[in-house]
């Protein structure tokens, strides 16, 4: 079998699995967030936390809960990292203060940018009790925000959006935990390590010693992908054979990254009472996913005809196709795990994964974040083009007025502002520039990639950049923090504003938001807004590199 | 088009005045252009070059063109306002004092509730209600309609407007508006745009345009550090040119002109919108409440059938009905003549020596006395019955049954009776007058349904009649035996379901409903209360116009959306012109992005700037006229407009910039 | 007269029963939310930080003991490596792994991050070519490039084939014997289409040793 056919069949397998899985999973998630009953374990959680699951929160209270929980997460994780030396299983792991700040913010914002080296920076205690826990809860926060926005669209003249603690708990207990457990056991069977003994030093046959790493990797690996987190237990992340041993685990990881983001449109459709609405969002996400996969795969397979076969920074077991599928998926989902080195990609391949993140992580984006990002695109599309049907723009019966478009526009401007200002400032500053591995346009892309990844909460890197320095650690942490919570705050305000409106009945006069045309319009808006914002810098980075 | 050019020339001084930055603060987009123009002028002075000077000039032209668009839009209103103002000459009024005496006062000194006497040939000094008498009034000053209208005390035709002329009789008017706040004053303010406030959607769009401007500001402002990382960055004037090309100047320049023109289109159709908000709401309306009479049906009923009673022969009945209506000039009467004439065919006799008996409120009958003494009458059943009884006759036995049957079917029965010179009166037949649905209404309602608008017919008829007419007209629903409270309840019900409701009304008892409706169109013939409650006034008092108003509201929104889409789509081509030109010195490979193969970097950038300025001028007619609106389903409309303004917006500038570049390349020094 | 029934909210609250009660708790202050957040974090830490990995660990111990502890390879009871990790092989008698930035030390992992046009990489590639000797000019890509992890356990069948002659000569085996070993240890695509055909270098070298001992 030829490599191309094998690659296409692999992609087809992913598509098939998702096509089958997104329906029951999407329906199940819709039930999770509408069910009246609490599981016994959930009731116990609420009791222990002293929260009343029956209280409904206004958007502002909901936002305060998110803020309070995330603040505690960041501080708690920071403390755990700083005190890891005094805790069991320390094994000499340590991080500087700025690195610890960066890491704590990174994992609490679902970014999982890693300034540290997994093997030496984080002890098993930090990995399992700190990082892996954030992998669960930060993804759950994303789901909660998405559900709050959906409630904003579906509720009629309501002042409340649900209860954050309930949404968070249910996301973890009913969605993430069961799926992660299944994923972990499959990965474990495939060869991913799950062990707490100390790393073993092996005396090799040819006389060279080698450390075989250990850790509770399989359990963390599953949620790393499922929660679109991406922070590797080990430095090489999913390129490391102990994290991602073969083509099957690679496929499983790709599916884990995509399965929740691609199922959420279905959840959305079910909850708004019109599945076609969800299908349009799904079509939007899928179109971008397929198109960008084609671009990146094309760029890398073209590069593979050269003498180096595009194999620098890629593993033999994955080859070019298995690498690009993963690289594309990880950047399209805000995961940021890598099974190959993005910086070693061809200019257009690397530019492609960069563009994936610039799109705002909507193809299909992170857990929850992808859906609310896509709905922001939908509202933007509705507003501009909706006028062209001669009505005040509306989406699923809710009017997009001044307040709504203001919030949506601010969401749209937040990450580009962080990316452009962050990159510009870092390039102007000697200390940050000194961390670059690349030179010329490639160096520009390297820095741009870092700030794009952080601001969009992706976490992957052009890893040649020496980011473990105070300036970059702190500015990138700021980008992650603002890139995550400014949009979340605005989205919750938007949800509150939408919930307060009366829902207008669907009529033929309203702009249809369930048609292929609308999905195409969303694609156009997303690509145009991203393109117009970033074309100058893309021209100076990847395009200049590709065309010279 | 010539008219537009003339207007444009006339508006030029106003456009120049709008270069004042104070005026531009209202539009952040154009303010950025203004700042860019100032900056590039300074730079062009400091380091003169053909390129720098050209850019500066064209940036100023961009600001100027934006001002021009607004000035032209306002200019059309101004012309109209001047016409109105001419009618508002200073008047003197004859104020009625408590003791019945009359004193002369200046029109401007009138107070609320003053009573003034107006006689034939005099100008009505202010808005008010007729409280005594009846008169014909020439309202052409405000409606343009030369046919006089009747205004009388009491009822729904009591309102008079200041500035109109009484043609006959004498009336006493109670003043209901302070001087300076009269209808004409408000009208002048409206058409001049003085009272114009930004509408909700316009504000929302403004927010989006501002944020887009911020994004592009960031994208352009960060170019120097990016480019500086590997070499020399572009000059400031180039960055200014890029920024101005990227920010949505097209829609930014035309936005207020579109709004003004939308109001203007209503004024041209003799509808006064009291706020831009109402025009926008009209586009959103999803339920139309339409009065049956005059809107859905012709104002008058028409003969559709004549049922003989008492064994009379059909031809005889037809002939008698014909005779009784011959002198009847009411539309009903004419329709009876017409109908019977077709029934009788050639057998029509116009009798000689007959005397027509006109309808009076007292007899409630009309007819004819023939030369031989025969009397023919037709009228309401009760009146004719009495006439027959008075003459010693008895109404035929089957009369009641026939009359009730016609009523039940939604018609109006007119009984025809005859009395020979010496005999007793007898009833011979019943004319079935029927409501006739206006031609084209069925199609109109189908069209509205496709647009997602529900139509509800409001009528005082009984449910049975209403149902029959509703079915015939093809409305979606009806409200029979409607009281003002019923109307109000219906509006609230629709609104609680999230629908926007539009209605027309003229009576005082319509006022609450007009106020409650999202779009309330008061008829100019209506009472002051109704006109005060509604947010639009139709000077022609044509309730059918509600449908046009909805179309105008939609057209306003469509125009805004189309030009926004066009404006943003334009950016793609501008990028392809400017980016390669800007960076080709740094990375020669980027020349392959120069897909238009533009002459030189300078000519490419200048062409984009010129295109950006000229497209504003090119689109002024569209902004004023509005995008052509066809009642289509929303998805069809979206597909169509996306193709024209989205895809067109991508393609047009590629062609335009290339053509301009061919010319600009000829400039020496570029 | 038909009436419009108001659209009912499709998403009912998880707790709409609670809405009727007046006891709606508004934990208004950031402080109270933070306290609740802290308790939630602690509870979640127990749930997904302790219980979840413990269960997966237990499953591993029960069913996938070998995989869970790193797929270690033993010869004569002594651990000689992990079947998942490449090793640094020196000397002509071994099949060599791909170039590795970390020389397969395993204490950390990663790659060069250099692009295909980077002069630093081109220099290294030139050196690697030179080290391969006669076969250098036509060397397969994986022989010239470093992997992402620095621990790539595999080489391409082409790179293995390119090493057959050297290994056979160093071991005193016929090229045919060695080639057969390579063929035996060439893994095909999983399920016929997943991943790449590859040769696990540790397994091949173990087999080579075994063959040489016989």
Question: What distance in Å separates the CA atoms of residue C192 and residue C189, rounded to the nearest whole number?
Answer: 5
Tokens 């595999």 identify what position?
A: C154
- How high is the pLDDT of residue C10? 37
Contacts of B562 in chain A (CB under 8 A): 387-388
Contacts of A208 in chain C (CB under 8 A): 87-90, 103-104
- How high is the pLDDT of residue A506? 74
- The answer to whether the CB of A177 falls within 8 A of the CB of C48 is yes
Query: What is the arithmetic mean of pLDDT over B28-35?
Result: 93
Nearest to A421 among B211, B218, B589 (CB): B218
Question: What distance in Å separates the CA atoms of residue A464 and residue C111, rounded to the nearest whole number?
Answer: 9
- How high is the pLDDT of residue B145? 66
Mean pLDDT, chain B, integer: 85
Q: In sequence order, what DSSP letters do the residues of C117-153 get, joined into one string?
A: T-HHHHHHHHHHHHHHGGGGGG--HHHHS--SSS---
pLDDT in tens, A57-68: 999 999 999 999
Write out the H or E segment, with its range, that includes residue C164: helix C157-171
B291 in catalytic set: yes
What are the structure tokens assigned to B652, written together? 């047009």
Q: Looking at the predicted structure, is the pLDDT value of residue C13 above 70?
A: no
pLDDT bracket for residue B94 (50, 70, 90): confident
Question: What distance in Å separates the CA atoms of residue B116 and residue B174, rounded to the nearest whole number?
Answer: 7
pLDDT in tens, A100-121: 999 999 999 999 999 999 999 9
Q: Counting beta carbons within 10 angstroms of the beta carbon of residue A431, is it exposed (0 to 12), middle (13 to 18) or buried (19 or more)?
A: exposed
Write out the H or E segment, with its range, that includes residue A410: helix A402-428
Q: Which chains touch C (3 or more CB pairs under 8 A)?
A: A, B
Q: Looking at the predicted structure, is the pLDDT value of residue A126 above 80?
A: yes
Query: Do the Cβ atoms of B497 and C1 come within 8 Å?
Result: no
Question: What distance in Å separates the CA atoms of residue C146 and residue C110, rounded to the nearest whole number?
Answer: 9
Query: Do the Cβ atoms of C6 and B490 come within 8 Å?
Result: no
B362 is in an annotated binding site: yes
What are the structure tokens assigned to A482, written together? 């603002």
Scanning A156-216, the segments in alpha helix (DSSP H) are 164-170, 177-190
pLDDT in tens, A339-350: 999 999 999 999
Query: Do the Cβ atoms of A194 and C68 come within 8 Å?
Result: yes
Nearest to A119 among C8, C71, C108 (CB): C108
List the catalytic residue out of B291, B461, B518, B661. B291
- The answer to whether the CB of A447 falls within 8 A of the CB of A541 is no
pLDDT in tens, C51-105: 999 999 999 999 999 999 999 999 999 999 999 999 999 999 999 999 999 999 9
Query: Do the Cβ atoms of C196 and A73 come within 8 Å?
Result: no
pLDDT in tens, B581-624: 999 988 999 999 999 999 899 999 999 999 999 999 999 999 99
- The answer to whether the CB of B463 falls within 8 A of the CB of B480 is yes
Query: What is the arithmetic mean of pLDDT over B539-559?
Result: 85
Tokens 């391969």 identify what position?
A: C132
Look at A45-49, B392-396, C155-159 and tell me which has the smallest mean pLDDT: B392-396
Q: Which chains touch B (3 or more CB pairs under 8 A)?
A: A, C
Question: What distance in Å separates the CA atoms of residue A57 and residue B82, rounded to the nearest whole number?
Answer: 57
pLDDT in tens, B262-286: 888 888 888 888 777 888 888 888 8
Q: Looking at the predicted structure, is the pLDDT value of residue C205 above 80?
A: yes
Instruction: Name the residue in chain C with its Cα closest to that of B481.
Output: C1
Contacts of B218 in chain A (CB under 8 A): 413, 416-417, 420-421, 533
B332 is in an annotated binding site: yes
Query: Do the Cβ atoms of A213 and C70 come within 8 Å?
Result: yes
Write out the H or E segment, with its range, that includes residue B105: strand B102-106
- How high is the pLDDT of residue A22? 97
Considering only residues B462 and A350, tell me which one the structure prediction assigns the higher pLDDT.
A350
Tokens 């959607």 identify what position?
A: B201
- How high is the pLDDT of residue A103? 98
Question: What distance in Å separates the CA atoms of residue B235 and residue B33, rounded to the nearest whole number?
Answer: 17
pLDDT in tens, A387-420: 888 888 889 989 999 999 999 999 999 999 999 9
- How high is the pLDDT of residue B129? 86
User: A515 to chain C nearest CA, in Å?
Assistant: 21
Q: In sequence order, what DSSP letters do the residues of B7-42 get, joined into one string?
A: HHHHHHHHHHHTTSHHHHTT-HHHHHHHHHHHHHHH
Q: Looking at the predicted structure, is the pLDDT value of residue A125 above 90?
A: yes
Tokens 């169509």 identify what position?
A: B640
- How high is the pLDDT of residue C5? 35
Query: Do the Cβ atoms of C24 and A73 come within 8 Å?
Result: no
DSSP category for residue B593: G
Query: Can you give the pTM of this predicted structure?
Result: 0.88
Considering only residues C122 and B448, tell me which one the structure prediction assigns the higher pLDDT.
C122
- The answer to whether the CB of A374 falls within 8 A of the CB of A262 is no
pLDDT bracket for residue A256 (50, 70, 90): very high
Nearest to C4 among B479, B480, B493 (CB): B493
Question: What distance in Å separates the CA atoms of residue B73 and residue A199, rounded to the nearest whole number?
Answer: 78
CA torsion B159→B165→B166→B168, rounded to 10°?
Answer: -140
Cα–Cα distance list, B343 to B304, B316, B339 (Å): 11, 11, 6
- How high is the pLDDT of residue B194? 56
Instruction: Name the residue in chain C with its Cα closest to that of A246.
Output: C195
Query: Do the Cβ atoms of A50 and C149 come within 8 Å?
Result: no
Query: What is the arithmetic mean of pLDDT over A348-365?
Result: 97
> Which residues of chain A from 186 to 245 reach within 8 Å of chain C, CB to CB?
188-197, 199-200, 202-214, 216, 218-220, 223, 234-236, 239-242, 245
pLDDT bracket for residue C24 (50, 70, 90): very low
Peptide bond preceding A435 in cis form (omega within 30 of 0): no
Selected residue of B220, B229, B495, B567 to mutate for chain A interface (largest A Cβ count, 10 A): B229
E runs forming strands in B147-198: 149-152, 159-160, 165-168, 170-175
pLDDT in tens, A439-485: 999 999 999 999 999 999 999 999 999 999 999 999 999 999 999 99
Selected residue of C54, C70, C101 to mutate for chain A interface (largest A Cβ count, 10 A): C70
Distance, CA of B468 to chain centre: 30
Q: Looking at the predicted structure, is the pLDDT value of residue A245 above 80?
A: yes
- In chain C, % helix, strand, coil (3-state, to 5) comes to 50, 10, 45
- How high is the pLDDT of residue A508? 67
- How high is the pLDDT of residue B408? 76
- Bridge partners (DSSP) listed for residue B490: none
Query: What is the arithmetic mean of pLDDT over B638-663?
Result: 94
C97 and chain A in contact, CB less than 8 A: no
Contacts of B490 in chain C (CB under 8 A): 1
CA atoms within 13 A on the CB side of A308: 27
Instruction: Name the residue in chain A with its Cα closest to that of B638.
Output: A389
pLDDT in tens, B155-190: 767 888 888 888 888 889 988 888 777 777 777 777
Question: What distance in Å separates the CA atoms of residue B161 and residue B127, rounded to the nearest whole number?
Answer: 4
B283 and chain A in contact, CB less than 8 A: yes
- The number of beta carbons lying within 10 Å of the beta carbon of residue B17 is 11
Q: Looking at the predicted structure, is the pLDDT value of residue A301 above 80?
A: yes
Question: What distance in Å separates the CA atoms of residue A411 and residue B495, rounded to the nearest whole number?
Answer: 31
């Amino acid at each position: 079998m030829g490599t191309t056919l094998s690659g296409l069949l692999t992609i087809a397998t992913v598509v098939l699995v998702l096509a089958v899985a997104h329906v029951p999973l999407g329906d199940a998630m819709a039930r999770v967030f509408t069910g009246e009953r609490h599981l016994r374990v959930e009731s116990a959680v609420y009791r222990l936390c002293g929260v009343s699951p029956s209280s409904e929160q206004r958007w502002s209270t909901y936002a305060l809960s998110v803020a309070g929980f995330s603040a505690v997460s960041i501080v708690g994780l920071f403390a755990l990292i700083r005190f890891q030396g005094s805790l069991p299983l320390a094994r000499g792991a340590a991080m500087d203060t700025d690195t610890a700040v960066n890491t704590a913010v990174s994992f609490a914002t679902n970014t999982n940018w890693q300034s540290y080296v997994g093997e030496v920076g984080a002890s098993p205690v930090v990995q399992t009790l700190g990082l892996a826990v954030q992998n669960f809860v930060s993804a759950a926060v994303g789901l909660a925000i998405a559900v709050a926005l959906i409630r904003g669209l579906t509720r009629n003249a309501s002042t409340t959006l649900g209860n954050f603690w309930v949404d968070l708990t249910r996301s973890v207990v009913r969605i993430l935990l069961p799926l992660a457990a299944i994923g972990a056991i499959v990965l474990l069977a495939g060869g991913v390590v799950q062990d707490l003994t100390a790393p073993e030093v092996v005396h090799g046959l040819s006389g060279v010693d080698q450390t075989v790493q250990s850790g509770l990797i399989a359990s963390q690996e599953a949620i790393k992908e499922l929660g679109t987190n991406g922070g590797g237990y080990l430095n090489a992340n999913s390129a490391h054979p102990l994290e991602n041993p073969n083509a099957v685990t690679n496929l499983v990881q790709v599916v884990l990254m995509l399965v929740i983001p691609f199922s959420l449109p279905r959840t959305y459709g079910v909850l708004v009472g019109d599945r076609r609405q969800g299908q349009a969002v799904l079509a939007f996400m899928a179109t971008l996913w397929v198109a960008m996969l084609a671009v990146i795969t094309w760029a890398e397979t073209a590069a593979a005809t050269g003498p180096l076969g595009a194999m620098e920074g890629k593993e033999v077991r994955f080859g070019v196709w298995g690498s690009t599928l993963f690289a594309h998926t990880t950047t399209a989902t805000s995961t940021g795990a890598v099974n190959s080195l993005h910086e070693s990609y061809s200019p257009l391949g690397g530019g492609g994964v960069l563009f994936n993140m610039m799109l705002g992580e909507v193809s299909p984006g992170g857990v929850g974040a992808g859906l609310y990002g896509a709905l922001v695109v939908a509202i933007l599309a509705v507003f501009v083009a909706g006028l062209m049907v001669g009505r005040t723009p509306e989406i699923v019966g809710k009017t997009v007025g001044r307040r709504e478009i203001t919030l949506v526009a601010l969401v749209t401007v937040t990450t580009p502002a962080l990316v452009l200002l962050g990159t510009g400032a870092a390039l102007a500053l000697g200390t940050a520039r000194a961390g670059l591995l690349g030179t010329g346009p490639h160096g520009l892309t390297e820095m741009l990639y870092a700030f794009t990844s952080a601001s969009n909460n992706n976490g992957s890197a052009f890893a040649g950049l020496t980011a473990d320095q105070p300036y970059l650690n702190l500015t990138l942490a700021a980008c992650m923090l603002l890139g995550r919570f400014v949009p979340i705050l605005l989205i919750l305000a938007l949800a509150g504003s939408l919930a307060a409106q009366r829902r207008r009945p669907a009529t033929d006069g309203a702009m249809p938001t369930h048609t292929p045309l609308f999905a195409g319009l969303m694609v156009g808006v997303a690509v145009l807004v991203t393109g117009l914002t970033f074309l100058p810098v893309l021209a100076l980075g990847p395009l200049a590199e590709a065309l010279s | 088009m010539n008219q537009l050019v003339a207007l444009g020339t006339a508006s030029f001084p106003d456009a120049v005045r709008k270069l004042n930055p104070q005026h531009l603060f209202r539009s952040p987009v154009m303010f950025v252009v203004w700042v860019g123009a100032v900056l590039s002028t300074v730079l062009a002075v400091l380091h003169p070059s053909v390129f720098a000077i050209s850019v500066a000039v064209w940036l100023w032209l961009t600001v100027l063109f934006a001002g021009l668009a607004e000035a032209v839009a306002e200019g059309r209103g101004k012309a109209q306002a001047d016409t109105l103002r001419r009618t508002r000459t200073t008047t003197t009024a004859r104020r009625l004092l408590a003791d019945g005496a009359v004193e002369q006062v200046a029109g401007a000194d009138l107070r609320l509730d003053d009573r003034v006497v107006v006689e034939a040939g005099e100008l009505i000094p202010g808005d008010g209600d007729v409280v005594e008498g009846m008169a014909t009034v020439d309202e052409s000053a405000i409606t343009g309609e030369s046919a006089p209208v009747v205004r009388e005390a009491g009822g729904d035709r009591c309102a008079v407007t200041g500035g109109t002329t009484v043609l006959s009789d004498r009336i006493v008017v109670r003043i209901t508006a302070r001087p300076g706040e009269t209808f004409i004053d408000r009208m002048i303010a409206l058409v001049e745009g003085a009272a114009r406030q930004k509408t909700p959607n316009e504000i929302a769009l403004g927010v989006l345009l501002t944020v887009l401007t911020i994004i592009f500001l960031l994208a352009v402002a960060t170019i120097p550090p990016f480019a500086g990382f590997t070499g020399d960055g572009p000059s400031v004037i180039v960055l200014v040119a890029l920024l101005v090309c990227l920010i949505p100047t097209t829609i930014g320049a035309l936005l207020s002109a579109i709004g003004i023109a939308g109001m203007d289109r209503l004024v041209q159709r003799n509808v006064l919108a009291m706020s831009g908000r109402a025009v926008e709401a009209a586009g959103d309306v999803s339920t139309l409440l339409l009065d049956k009479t005059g809107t859905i049906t012709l104002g008058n009923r028409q003969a559709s059938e004549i049922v003989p009673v008492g064994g009379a022969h059909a031809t005889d009945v037809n002939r008698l009905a014909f005779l009784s209506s011959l002198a009847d000039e009411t539309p009903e009467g004419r329709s009876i003549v017409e109908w019977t004439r077709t029934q009788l065919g050639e057998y029509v006799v116009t009798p000689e020596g007959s005397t027509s008996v006109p309808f009076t409120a007292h007899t409630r009958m009309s007819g004819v006395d023939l030369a031989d003494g025969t009397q023919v009458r037709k009228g309401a059943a009760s009146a004719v019955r009495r006439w027959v009884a008075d003459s010693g006759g008895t109404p035929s036995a089957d009369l009641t049954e026939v009359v009730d049957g016609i009523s039940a079917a939604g018609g109006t029965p007119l009984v025809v009776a005859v009395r020979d010179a010496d005999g007793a009166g007898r009833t011979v037949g019943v004319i079935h007058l029927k409501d006739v649905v206006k031609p084209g209404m069925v199609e109109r309602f189908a069209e509205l349904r496709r647009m997602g608008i529900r139509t509800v017919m409001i009528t005082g008829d009984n449910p049975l009649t209403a149902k029959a007419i509703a079915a015939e007209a093809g409305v979606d629903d009806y409200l029979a035996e409607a009281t003002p409270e019923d109307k109000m309840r219906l509006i609230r019900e629709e609104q609680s379901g999230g629908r926007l409701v539009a209605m027309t009304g003229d009576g005082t008892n319509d006022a609450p409903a007009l106020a409650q409706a999202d779009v309330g169109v008061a008829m100019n013939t209506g009472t002051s209360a109704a006109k005060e409650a509604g947010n639009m006034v139709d000077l022609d008092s044509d309730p059918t116009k509600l449908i046009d108003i909805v179309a105008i509201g939609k057209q306003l929104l469509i125009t805004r959306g189309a030009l926004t889409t066009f404006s943003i789509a334009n950016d793609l081509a501008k990028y392809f012109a400017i980016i390669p030109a800007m960076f080709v010195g740094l990375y020669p490979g980027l020349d392959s992005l120069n897909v238009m193969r533009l002459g030189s970097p300078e000519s490419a950038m200048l062409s984009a700037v010129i295109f950006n300025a000229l497209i504003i001028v090119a689109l002024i007619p569209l902004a004023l006229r509005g995008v052509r609106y066809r009642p289509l389903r929303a998805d069809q409309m979206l597909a169509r407009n996306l193709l024209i303004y989205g895809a067109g917006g991508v393609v047009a500038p590629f062609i335009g910039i290339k053509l301009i570049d061919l010319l600009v390349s000829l400039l020496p020094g570029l | 007269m038909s009436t419009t029934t108001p659209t009912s909210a499709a998403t009912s609250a998880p707790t709409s029963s609670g809405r009727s009660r007046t006891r709606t708790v508004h934990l208004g202050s950031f402080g109270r939310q933070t306290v609740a957040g802290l308790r939630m974090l602690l509870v979640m830490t127990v749930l997904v930080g302790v219980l979840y990995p413990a269960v997966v660990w237990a499953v591993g111990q029960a069913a996938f003991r070998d995989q869970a502890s790193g797929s270690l390879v033993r010869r004569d009871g002594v651990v000689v490596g992990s079947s998942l990790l490449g090793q640094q092989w020196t000397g002509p008698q071994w099949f060599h792994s791909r170039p590795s930035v970390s020389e397969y030390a395993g204490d950390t992992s990663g790659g060069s991050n250099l692009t295909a046009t980077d002069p630093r990489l081109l220099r290294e590639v030139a050196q690697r070519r030179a080290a391969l000797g006669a076969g250098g000019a036509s060397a397969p890509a994986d022989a010239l490039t470093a992997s992402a992890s620095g621990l790539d356990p595999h080489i391409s069948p082409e790179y293995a084939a390119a090493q057959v002659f050297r290994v056979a000569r160093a071991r005193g085996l016929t090229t045919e014997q060695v080639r057969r070993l390579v063929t035996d240890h060439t893994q095909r695509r999983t399920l016929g289409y997943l991943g790449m055909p590859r040769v696990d270098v540790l397994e091949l070298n173990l087999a080579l040793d075994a063959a040489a001992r016989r």
